[in-house]
């Protein structure tokens, strides 16, 4: 058995992400906030302590693989230590040192994900899930979910191919435009979100421009596998946007936003990633592109007053729980969010549409979307808590601004064994209704839990 010294493990963390794990003084805040702590064999603070003691057995831990990358630990750490990033490094180190993953399904998922992205450029969701279940030896796994999604037009049968272009034309009036990074789910499982994003942005005179040849940001698979790759993948598209002359990119996907934002935050410090991007694009990326989540773009470019003035059919009487999930606001050191634990921007948005945003406890708790495919029962347990809390606090619907959160809370709801289902809508669907774009314009038929009976009782449908 190979033994590793304290210096080698701690230095690996320091070299890869610049974190000094000896700054941890075991306050336990990371463990107190972790939504998965009951499932871990080592709590987050025990992982940190193991590193400080040079205990290489931490590389065999289930905890480093089960971590959902919700960044609660990193947000609450009084020392500002990126505990989530440490978990990533430990997964990478385990592979590099030949330590078998404690949960092989998650490692297999990440590897296959990256293989598909290398081949197609963007992730073909249906083909990928079929291949993953086949490799796992359970080809009929999730067939009920797949059938639900297929019936609602949320699966694309044929894959898309994308390649980063070498030549890019500058756009006219770039300051009036926002680059739009839709993410891989936009053309299949999140089609209703993509279409309503485009239509509501147009209604607010926000000109979105989709970058040519955009490729997958790497999602959770990249940062859990290769730090340089995790920066390179989003920066390829950011380099394309820079060549277009546009200085801002927005994404409706929280996961894509997080990966783009981390790349913006750390791009200049990753020389290897910058070199790879230059080789792939023929462009020396200067880091001039600002990354926003769609929520911030709507509020910054249009503003609440303009949104309110655009409303022709107020959503009066509708009580909603605004669910932000993990990554719109966290980690605040990267996102710059003022209130990462209890944000209110989406609440203000839906209130401008005439709806009532309720106060509730789970608006930033992790729904387990990153574990939905590999650890389904655990993910269902997490997402059920979110939905049940929204119902207990008086919500008639849940509102999201993330395709993965929406898929987990909406499409998985029949498996949660709830007494009463609750509609889960994208905020842009509510905007479409309030802007008078109609039931079809809001793409309500694509939601798994049908929101039309509820909205009909509120006289909010055409």
Question: In 264-363, which ranges are E strands?
Answer: 290-293, 319-322, 356-357
| Domains of the chain, first to last | 6-96 (1.10.1060.10), 104-151 (no CATH), 174-295 (1.20.1050.140), 311-457 (3.40.50.11810)
Question: Considering the entire predicted model, what is its pTM?
Answer: 0.95
* Among 163, 165, 164, 159, CA closest to 123: 159
Alpha carbon distance 219, 340 (integer Å): 21
Give the model's pLDDT for residue 261. Answer: 95
Strand order in the sheet with 319-322: 356-357, 319-322, 397-400, 424-426
Give the model's pLDDT for residue 265. Answer: 86
Q: Return per-residue pLDDT of the chain as tens, 462 residues.
A: 344 444 588 999 998 889 999 999 999 999 999 999 999 999 999 999 999 999 999 999 999 999 999 999 999 999 999 999 999 999 999 999 999 999 999 999 999 999 999 999 999 999 999 999 999 999 999 999 999 999 999 999 899 999 999 999 999 999 999 999 999 999 999 999 999 999 999 999 999 999 999 999 999 999 999 989 999 999 999 999 999 999 999 999 999 999 999 999 887 678 899 999 999 999 999 999 999 999 999 999 999 999 999 999 999 999 999 999 999 999 998 999 989 999 999 999 999 999 999 999 999 999 999 999 999 999 999 999 999 999 999 999 999 999 999 999 999 999 999 999 999 999 999 999 999 999 999 999 999 999 999 999 999 998
Alpha carbon distance 356, 320 (integer Å): 6
Which residues, in sequence order, are CB contacts of 20 under 8 Å at separation 6+?
Answer: 10, 14, 81
Give the model's pLDDT for residue 380. Answer: 97
Give the model's pLDDT for residue 178. Answer: 98
Give the model's pLDDT for residue 266. Answer: 80
User: Does residue 96 have a cis peptide bond before it, meaning omega lies within 30 degrees of 0?
Assistant: no
The residues pairing with 353 across neighbouring beta strands, listed in sequence order, are none
* Among 400, 449, 434, 441, CA closest to 192: 441
CA atoms within a 13 Å half-sphere pointing along the CA-CB vector of 199? 22
Q: Which residue reads 């290398």 in tokens? A: 118
Q: Which pair of structure tokens corresponds to residue 56?
A: 């290489």
CB-CB contact of 42 with 297 (8 Å) = no
Alpha carbon distance 265, 260 (integer Å): 9
Q: Which residue reads 């607010």 in tokens? A: 204
Q: Which residue reads 């509120």 in tokens? A: 458
CA distances in angstroms from 38 to 23, 178, 378, 382, listed in the order given: 25, 42, 11, 12
Give the model's pLDDT for residue 451. Answer: 98
Strand order in the sheet with 207-209: 207-209, 177-180, 248-251, 290-293
Give the model's pLDDT for residue 5. Answer: 45
CB-CB contact of 395 with 454 (8 Å) = no
Alpha carbon distance 426, 424 (integer Å): 7
């Amino acid at each position: 058995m190979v033994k590793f010294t304290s210096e080698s493990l701690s230095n690996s963390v320091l070299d890869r992400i610049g974190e000094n794990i000896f700054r941890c003084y075991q306050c336990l805040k990371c463990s107190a906030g972790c939504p998965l702590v009951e499932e871990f064999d080592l709590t987050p603070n025990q992982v940190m302590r193991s590193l400080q003691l040079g205990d290489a057995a931490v590389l065999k831990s289930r905890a480093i693989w089960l971590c959902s990358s919700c960044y609660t630990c990193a947000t609450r750490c009084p020392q500002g230590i990126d505990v989530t990033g440490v978990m990533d490094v430990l997964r990478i180190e385990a592979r590099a040192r030949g330590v078998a993953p404690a949960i092989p399904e998650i490692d297999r998922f990440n590897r296959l994900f990256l293989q598909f992205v290398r081949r197609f450029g963007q992730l073909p969701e249906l083909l990928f899930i079929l291949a993953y279940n086949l490799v796992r030896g359970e080809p009929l796994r999730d067939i009920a979910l797949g059938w639900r999604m297929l019936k609602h037009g949320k699966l694309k049968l044929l894959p898309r191919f994308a390649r980063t272009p070498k030549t890019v034309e500058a756009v006219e009036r770039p300051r009036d435009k926002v680059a739009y990074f839709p993410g891989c789910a936009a053309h299949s499982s999140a089609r209703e979100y993509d279409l309503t994003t485009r239509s509501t942005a147009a209604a607010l005179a926000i000109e979105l421009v989709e970058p040519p040849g955009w490729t997958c940001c790497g999602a959770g698979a990249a940062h859990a596998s290769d730090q340089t790759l995790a920066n390179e993948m989003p920066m390829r598209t950011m380099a394309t946007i820079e060549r277009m002359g546009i200085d801002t990119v927005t994404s409706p996907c929280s996961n894509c936003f997080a990966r783009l934002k981390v790349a913006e935050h750390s791009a200049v410090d990753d020389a290897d990633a910058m070199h790879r991007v230059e080789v792939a694009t023929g462009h020396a990326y200067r880091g001039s592109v600002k990354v926003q989540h769609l929520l911030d773009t709507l509020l910054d470019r249009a503003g609440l007053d303009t949104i309110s003035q655009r409303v022709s059919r107020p959503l009066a009487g509708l009580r909603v729980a605004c669910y932000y999930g993990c990554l719109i606001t966290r980690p605040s050191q990267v996102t710059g969010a003022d209130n990462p634990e209890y944000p209110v921007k989406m609440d203000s948005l839906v209130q401008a549409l005439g709806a009532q945003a309720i106060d509730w406890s789970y608006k930033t708790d992790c729904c387990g979307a990153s574990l939905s495919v590999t650890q389904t029962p655990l993910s269902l347990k997490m997402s059920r808590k979110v939905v049940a809390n929204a119902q207990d606090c008086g919500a008639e619907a849940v509102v999201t601004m993330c395709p993965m959160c929406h898929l987990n809370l909406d499409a998985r709801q029949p498996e949660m064994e709830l007494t009463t289902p609750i509609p889960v809508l994208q905020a842009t669907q509510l905007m479409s209704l309030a802007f008078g774009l109609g039931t079809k314009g809001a793409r309500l038929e694509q939601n798994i839990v049908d929101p039309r009976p509820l909205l009909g009782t509120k006289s909010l449908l055409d």
